[in-house]
Amino acid sequence: MILTVTPNPSLDRTYELPSLDRGSVLRATADRVEPGGKGVNVSLAVAAAGHATVAVAPLGGPEGALLAQLLGDHGIEAAGVPVHGSTRVNITLVEPDGTLTKVNAAGPEITAAEADALLATVRARAAGTRWVACCGSLPRGLPPEWYAELVAQAHRAGARIAVDTSGAALDAALRQRPEVVKPNSEELAEVVGRPLATIGDAVKAAQDLRDRGARAVLASLGADGQLLVDASGTYFGSARVTAVRSNVGAGDASLAGFLAAGGTGPAALAAAVAHGAAAVQLPGSAMPRPTDLVPAAVTTTARVPLDRALTEPTP
């Protein structure tokens, strides 16, 4: 069982347009609505891989009810915490050439009582789970320290926890020694306060996060691959990707693969790379199933290419 926590979930509505003309009345050629939010995406990927998962999230209004229904359609139990505000709705506009225009809503403001109820739900549902994965930005009303308290609650319940967030929330979570943190290269650069130009820079930044409390760092480096830095060493993984169709949720799929494979060591890194590579070759936010994975395309090694420049260096 993998429990996910999404502090600011969403309904994601996508409209496909023949063209995006400002100031015009536009008619969509296709549209769809999907459950969204980083932790929700992890649950979707875990379920697609055939594992059990429960999604904890604050849910409000008819939008929250629809989100819970959509998760149920995927075989995912939604452990929803009722909130007064309505769950946010994000809009994606897709043009024929694949260009995406996204409008992300802020989401409801969470009260102190609702924040406590969310922590209590995590504490109650975390007992007996293999992993808790808490992912995404914080909604209005939750301070960065809320992530640190969540890590502490998971540990009190006897669960291991992976944290995928950024900025002050990530900095606060490190103080409670989460088992895994999963930044991308931009988030890694932000939390250590310096640019990352090479894979070696990313390795040093990951080691800095371990010095600050993370027991392991799984870092997504985009097209360059992924790093795992833990007590046993430093490992690098990459995969051959023939064509990128969408990178939406690819990092979430990677984390799901990592945790489902045990959440430690190079074998779990290989699973993370395989899931991420499969996700970018699928349309939209589709999550890979076991038949989408190509293990032979994944290479992991302890010989990290430290001098290699990152494909898109962080400014």
Q: Which amino acid is at 144?
A: P
Helices 265-280 & 250-260, crossing angle to 10 degrees? 150
Which is the catalytic residue, given 171, 224, 230, 252?
Answer: 252
Instruction: Give the C-alpha separation, 274 to 283, whole Å.
Output: 16
User: What is the token pair recorded at 44?
Assistant: 């979707």
Handedness of CA 221, 225, 228, 233 (dihedral sign): negative
Phi, psi of 293 (to 5 degrees): -85, 140
Nearest to 218 by CA among 178, 173, 184: 184
What is the DSSP code (8-state) at residue 138? P
Tell me if residue 252 is catalytic.
yes
How far is the C-alpha of 44 from the C-alpha of 185, rounded, in Å? 24
DSSP state of 212: T
Residues classed as catalytic: 252
